[in-house]
Structure 1
């Protein structure tokens, strides 16, 4: 791993939990980096996923394809987030969804078993893994509450708050899928907000 990736790895992980440069140096041997182009798949539905792919740069998405062939965005992932399938990692079951880059996306990948071993061997890595799971649960909880309690416009406003300037890099059709509306509804919301 080159030095610029080590620095990005440290900066990205330190935003989740306190990790020193030495902590990252201990783990660097377990990571590989790869850059995906827009629309390139990180993994497919049906794959057995054994790695956690941490986003160092760019934006991607998780999505399902239903029986009619329609795509449904499960989640959007940006710097500090990660791509994986918990079902694959924990139960060795095929991933039910796809992971795909929306922009050029650089990831640092580690086998889940190696991440768990780091967390058992080094206190700071244990704290990192705990914080990572907490963030995952909170994100899922907030998204679920948004669908149950917020209007489409409020969900779009939440999206804009969460993604800030990065929202401009995400195609509107993916934003619409993410907040659970049609392209037409999102256009109307954007028009009402004076964004078009």
Structure 2
């Protein structure tokens, strides 16, 4: 029963932006693994080589750094419909410089990056999905950079 519910959650997220049909989803779902992460559980840790994309289908999580003094710094929050991964790990096989952690109970649908790329090579909707994910990431980074460079500390806090 949970598997059916998880598939429905993933389907509702994926079809928000693109018209995936049942056959496209069914052929892809066999490559996804559903994972439940308890609050405070790590999805991955700093120095892990991350090879999967973890689509967040339920819950809230965050990315954070820990400096040399052991202090945590928020990188970003992730909510339902977002995803956890380390682009440097996926593309360059570099260790992740940050942690990804569940803040509430989270359910993720993970797929290997290689498998996701394979889907995007053979299916237009999956290609569009991957492109849209990267576009949203680029826009988020652009806005964050502008905020860091142009806004005061108080303005950045109020936007957070």
Q: Which residue of 2 aligns with 1:117?
A: 118
Q: CA RMSD in A?
A: 1.4
- What's 2:56 paired with? 55
Separation (CA, whole Å) in 2 of partners of 1:17 and 1:131: 10
Match of 1:65 in 2: 66
Q: After superposition, what is the alpha-carbon deviation per residue over 1:41-84, rounded to whole angstroms, capped at 9, x for unaligned? A: 00011111000000001111111111111111111111111100
- Give the CA deviation at 1:20: 2.5
Unaligned stretches of 5+ residues in structure 2: none
What CA deviation, in whole Å up to 9, does each residue of 1:166-196 have, x standing for no partner? xxxxxxxxxxxxxxxxxxxxxxxxxxxxxxx
Question: Partners of 1:11 and 1:155 in 2: how far apart?
Answer: 32
Alignment correspondent of 1:137: 138
Deviations 1:85-129 (A, max 9, x none): 111111111111110001111100000000000000111100111
Q: Which has more radius of gyration?
A: 1
CA contact (8 A) 1:15 1:80 kept: no
Superposition pairs for residues 1-196 of structure 1, below 5 Å? 2-159=3-160
The Cα of 1:14 is off from its aligned counterpart by: 1.7
Unaligned runs of 5+ residues in structure 1 are 160-196
TM-score by length of 2: 0.93
Query: Which whole-Å CA distance do the structure 1 matches of 2:155 and 2:58 have between them?
Result: 27
The structural deviation recorded for 1:142 is 1.0
SS at match of 2:30: helix
Greater relative contact order structure (CA < 8 Å, 6+ sep): 2
What is the distance in 2 between the residues matched to 1:71 and 1:24?
38
Q: Provide the rounded CA distance (Å) in 2 between the counterparts of 1:100 and 1:49.
A: 14
Structure with the higher strand share, 1 or 2 = 2
